[in-house]
Amino acid sequence: MGFLRFCWFISTIIVFFSNPTPIAAGDIVHDDKFAPKKPGCENDFVLVKVQTWVDGIEGAEFVGVGARFGTTIVSKEKNANRTNLTQSVPHDCCTPPKNKLTGDVIMVTRGHCKFTTKANIAQAAGASAVLIINNQRELYKMVCEPDETDLDIHIPTVMLPQDAGVELERLLSNRSSISVQLYSPRRPVVDIAEVFLWLMAVGTILCASYWSAWSANEAAIEHDKLLEDFSEELSNTKLVGTSGIVEVNTKSAVLFVIVASCFLVLLYKLMSAWFIELLVVIFCIGGVEGLQTCIVALLSRWFKHAAQPSIKVPFFGAVSYLTLAVLPFCIVFAVLWAVYRDYKFAWIGQDILGIALIVTVLQIVHVPNLKVGTVLLGCAFLYDIFWVFISKKLFHESVMIVVARGDKSGEDGIPMLLKIPRMFDPWGGFSIIGFGDILLPGLLIAFSLRYDWLAKKHIRAGYFLWAMIAYGLGLLITYVALNLMDGHGQPALLYIVPFTLGTFLSLGKKRGDLGILWSSGEPERECPHVRLGHSHAADE
Catalytic residues: 384, 437
Do 535 and 242 form a contact (C-beta atoms < 8 A)? yes
d(CA 55, CA 35): 40
**Ramachandran assignment for 419, one of left (phi > 0), alpha (psi -120 to 50 degrees), beta (any other):** beta
d(CA 207, CA 440): 15
Which one-letter amino acid corresponds to residue 63? V
d(CA 335, CA 284): 7
Do 422 and 431 form a contact (C-beta atoms < 8 A)? yes
Q: How many CB atoms lie within 10 A of CB 500?
A: 29
The radius of gyration computed from the CA coordinates of the chain, to the nearest angstrom, equals 28
DSSP assignment string, 394-431 = HHSS-HHHHHHHTTTTTSS--SSEEEEE-SS-TT--EE
Do 52 and 180 form a contact (C-beta atoms < 8 A)? yes
User: If DSSP codes are grouped into helix, strand and coil, which group holds residue 27?
Assistant: coil
d(CA 59, CA 70): 27
Residues in Cβ contact with 163 at an 8 Å cutoff, skipping those fewer than 6 apart: 137
Sign of CA pseudo-dihedral 389, 391, 396, 398: negative
d(CA 441, CA 433): 13
Sign of CA pseudo-dihedral 276, 279, 280, 281: positive
